[in-house]
């Protein structure tokens, strides 16, 4: 049979921000309705290796049934050489025969779907008038999140902070062109976060980059950068003070350093998780309850997001005759 191969450019062409929002709503709703079989990701961390590999399988039942598998390597030093930290592939398989249908660039899918899910969380949980955005990080996900959040809230101001002052200045200058509002480069995370009502953390830091005392009442946070148990971006006080929403409970209590550090310190437990985002989306769980509440979405990224994105891309590539078809 013929297998579809999509590179990063194809993925960006076929999975626009608007289409990504639609696809991720579909994925989160399917997860909330128990239409997805999705084991925890398996992570391979050789002691002396430079990076790690994560393997994320999933199955979605129903009319668009399919198997998906993402195999991705994470190399946090890659941005220093101009490469995305995430490198890998998403595979799509027929639910009827098990045949391989497509091989797609995982970096591009991860970039787009992660930001789309954060935009959904922001749309569901942030105050309607929120528009003062702080972005911590200057990499691929910083750009993707800035663009995605601009699609669900009217941004008034953006402040960005990163480890490299010159890179932060360049990012801010470029970002003004992307979103058409003032973007201020900041010399510290604190100066970016104070007074913001939307906060995004997309760093590779192993230690907290956000402190509770910096966060304004009523703010919404998307904590995205840490997806392993040994690293966190959010301090314990913030985790304890915020109403916590997650993409998947099972993943959070096993894989999220932001959650696990705070839990080990006795500040929170499993009951602190208000709801999975999909449950809020389908109306099965409440979201924000008052204007002064701090809401926090802890994003880990789950396999069904990659599966639904790949299924959308496969159908669009067939419809528009995009990509390379290889006999397999």
| Helix (H) / strand (E) containing 101 | strand 100-105
In 3-state terms, the chain is what percent helix, strand and coil (to 5)?
40, 25, 35
**Pick from 133, 101, 97: which is nearest to 118 by CA?**
133
Q: Degrees (nearest 5) of the Cα angle 244, 247, 253?
A: 70
Token pair recorded at residue 128: 């309607």
Walk me through the domains of the chain, giving residue ranges and CATH numbers: 2-110+304-327 (3.30.1780.10), 114-301 (3.40.50.720)
Query: Coil, strand, or helix at residue 187?
Result: coil
Q: What is the pLDDT of residue 285?
A: 98
CA 87 to each of CA 20, 45, 109, 150, 308: distance values in angstroms, whole numbers, following the listed order: 20, 15, 11, 26, 19
Could you please report the per-residue DSSP string of 33-46? TT-EE-PPPEEE--
Q: What is the pLDDT of residue 82?
A: 82
**Pick from 209, 244, 245: which is nearest to 225 by CA?**
209
Reported as a single tens digit per residue, the pLDDT across 281-302 is 999 999 999 999 999 999 999 9
Q: How far apart are CA 197 and CA 288, in angstroms?
A: 14
β-pair partners for 89: 71, 105
Q: What is the pLDDT of residue 76?
A: 79
| Helix (H) / strand (E) containing 20 | helix 17-32
Q: How far apart are CA 6 and CA 13, in angstroms?
A: 10
CA 268 to each of CA 58, 79, 220, 243: distance values in angstroms, whole numbers, following the listed order: 29, 34, 19, 11
Query: Coil, strand, or helix at residue 75?
Result: coil
Q: What is the pLDDT of residue 58?
A: 98
CA 287 to each of CA 141, 244, 273: distance values in angstroms, whole numbers, following the listed order: 25, 10, 12
Tens digit of each residue's pLDDT, the chain (328 residues)? 899 999 999 999 999 999 999 999 999 999 999 999 999 999 998 998 989 999 999 999 998 999 999 999 988 788 888 888 889 999 999 999 999 999 999 999 999 999 999 999 999 999 999 999 999 999 999 999 999 999 999 999 999 999 999 999 999 999 999 999 999 999 999 999 999 999 999 999 999 999 999 999 999 999 999 989 999 999 999 999 999 999 999 999 999 999 999 999 999 999 999 999 999 999 999 999 999 999 999 999 999 999 999 999 999 999 999 999 999 8
CA 328 to each of CA 99, 100, 103, 314, 321: distance values in angstroms, whole numbers, following the listed order: 10, 8, 11, 16, 18
Reported as a single tens digit per residue, the pLDDT across 69-112 is 999 998 878 888 888 888 999 999 999 999 999 999 999 999 99
| Helix (H) / strand (E) containing 280 | helix 277-281
């Amino acid at each position: 049979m013929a297998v579809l191969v999509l590179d990063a450019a194809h993925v960006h062409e076929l999975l626009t921000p608007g289409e990504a929002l639609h696809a991720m709503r579909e994925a989160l709703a399917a997860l909330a309705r128990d239409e997805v079989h999705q084991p925890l990701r398996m992570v391979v961390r050789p002691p002396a290796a430079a990076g790690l590999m994560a393997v994320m399988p999933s199955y979605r039942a129903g009319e668009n049934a399919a198997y998906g598998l993402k195999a991705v390597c994470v190399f946090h030093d890659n941005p220093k050489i101009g490469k995305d930290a995430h490198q890998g592939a998403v595979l799509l398989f027929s639910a009827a025969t098990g045949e391989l249908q497509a091989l797609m660039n995982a970096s591009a899918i991860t970039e787009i779907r992660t930001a789309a899910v954060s935009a959904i969380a922001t749309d569901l949980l942030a105050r309607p008038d929120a528009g003062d955005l702080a972005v911590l990080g200057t990499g691929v996900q910083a750009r993707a999140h800035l663009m995605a959040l601009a699609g669900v809230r009217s941004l008034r101001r953006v402040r960005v902070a990163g480890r490299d002052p010159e890179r932060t200045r360049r990012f801010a200058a470029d970002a003004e062109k992307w979103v058409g509002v003032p973007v201020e480069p900041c010399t510290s995370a604190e100066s970016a976060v104070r007074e913001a009502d939307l906060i995004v953390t997309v760093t590779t830091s192993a230690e907290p980059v956000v402190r509770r005392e910096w966060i304004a009442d009523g703010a919404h946070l998307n904590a995205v950068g840490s997806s392993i148990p040994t690293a966190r971006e959010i301090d314990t006080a913030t985790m304890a003070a915020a109403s916590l929403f997650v993409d998947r409970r099972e993943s959070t209590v096993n894989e999220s350093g932001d959650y696990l550090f705070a839990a080990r310190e006795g500040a929170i437990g499993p009951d602190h998780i208000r709801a999975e985002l999909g449950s809020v989306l389908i109306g099965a769980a409440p979201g924000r309850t008052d204007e002064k509440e701090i809401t926090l979405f802890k994003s880990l990224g789950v396999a069904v997001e990659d599966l639904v994105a790949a299924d959308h891309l496969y159908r669009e590539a067939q419809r528009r005759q995009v990509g390379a078809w290889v006999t397999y």
